[in-house]
Amino acid sequence: MPSTPQLDQAERLTGVIDPAMPVLSARDLFDGEWSRVVDPIRTCVRAHGFLCVDLTGHHRVLTTSLLVQMERFFALDAATKARVRDPGGHYGWTPSSAEPAYQPGTSSNVESYDLERPLIDNLADPFWPVQPGFQTAALDGWRAYLALADALLEAIARAVDLRPDFLTSQCRTRELNTMRLLHYPAHTAPLTSEQVGIAAHTDFECITLLYQTRPGLELRTPDGRWLDAPTQAGRLIVLFDDMLERWTNGAVLATGHRVRRTRDARYSIVTFVAVDPGVPVGPQPAFVSAERPAAYPATEQGRHISDEMARARMYAGRDRKTDPTDR
């Protein structure tokens, strides 16, 4: 898969996700029913470049509760939301004007509320919204989605013939994880090609869990087609990220994706599952041979995020965040 700077924002949308694509059951993942999920994951890695997962009833309830809180929060005026904007840009509210660009000449149109470990670990942090029910819904969502992520990491490792605990053991501390609660405002005026929801990119971590309330997400397949990701209640999209591509020496390609602007407002819950700080990430021996030499130098998660965010700031012409591990 082309990396973020190699993706072409102007490539046309060519279709929708194949309705016959395998869909994983979150219940099978939690129950360790590997025989039901490993072969579908292998198929999706080769043919689709992402996964679809049907959530459990418990996850659906938590997701609905969190979406209610998100709608209430994003409906507040900018001055009120600015009170929970961390000046260092680590977490809390990010206005649309401060969202970085991933492609030259593009302008992202999305606001967010970002959760990271310092906020999760301090319930008295002043950058939590003063909104009844928000903190509980956010914490419940953080825990539930990361529990699902752990099950997915083991299933993916089994599917690509890594040691079953290879990914979970190195994505354990949550220190560089981010959960982004996103609001894409509705638009009615004509748009230029530069005005997007979020421009084409791959995510920097290991995997990403993404839930959207309306269509708008577009995904790039391994053979270069851009597909619309229709919304289906209770269904999650799982993206493969840069670190997974590096570990597998490109056997699993990072999922190129972008979000178009839409006439209807959209909300999205995005959980980035990152590799622990200090873990070297490079092609594993099983994926390297004389015919397939190592295609990626070893790196570390924080450094990779820092490099990619520096590129995004350069494209946007502004310096939104200064911390090297920020998203």
Q: Tens of pLDDT along the chain (327 residues)? A: 678 888 988 899 999 999 999 999 999 999 999 999 999 999 999 999 999 999 999 999 999 999 999 999 999 999 999 999 998 888 999 998 788 778 888 888 999 999 999 999 999 999 999 999 999 999 999 999 999 999 999 999 999 999 999 999 999 999 999 999 999 999 876 666 677 899 999 999 999 999 999 999 999 999 999 999 999 999 999 999 999 999 999 999 999 999 998 889 999 999 999 999 999 999 999 999 999 999 999 999 999 999 988 887 777 654 333 333 333
315, 104 in Cβ contact below 8 A?
yes
pLDDT confidence of residue 190: 61
How far is residue 94's CA from residue 298's CA, in Å, rounded to a whole number? 32
Q: How many CA atoms lie within 13 A of 241 on its CB side?
A: 25
pLDDT confidence of residue 191: 63
Domain boundaries, the chain: 4-316
221, 233 in Cβ contact below 8 A?
no
66, 303 in Cβ contact below 8 A?
no
Assign residue 89 a region: left if phi > 0, alpha if psi is -120 to 50, beta otherwise?
Answer: left
Instruction: Identify the bridge partners of residue 113 per DSSP, sorted by sequence position.
Output: 93, 181
90, 120 in Cβ contact below 8 A?
no
Residue type, 139: L
H/E run at residue 94: strand 92-94
**What pTM does this model have?**
0.94
**In sequence order, what DSSP letters do the residues of 213-232 get, joined into one string?**
SSS-EEEE-TTS-EEE----
**In sequence order, what DSSP letters do the residues of 122-176 get, joined into one string?**
-TT-TTS---TTHHHHHHHHHHHHHHHHHHHHHHHHHHTTS-TTHHHHHS-S-TT
Please say whether the structural domain 4-316 has been given the CATH code 2.60.120.330: yes
DSSP-derived 3-state class of residue 107: strand
Nearest CA to 316 among 5, 97, 86? 97
Size of the chain in residues: 327
Beta-carbon neighbour count of residue 234 at 10 Å?
A: 15
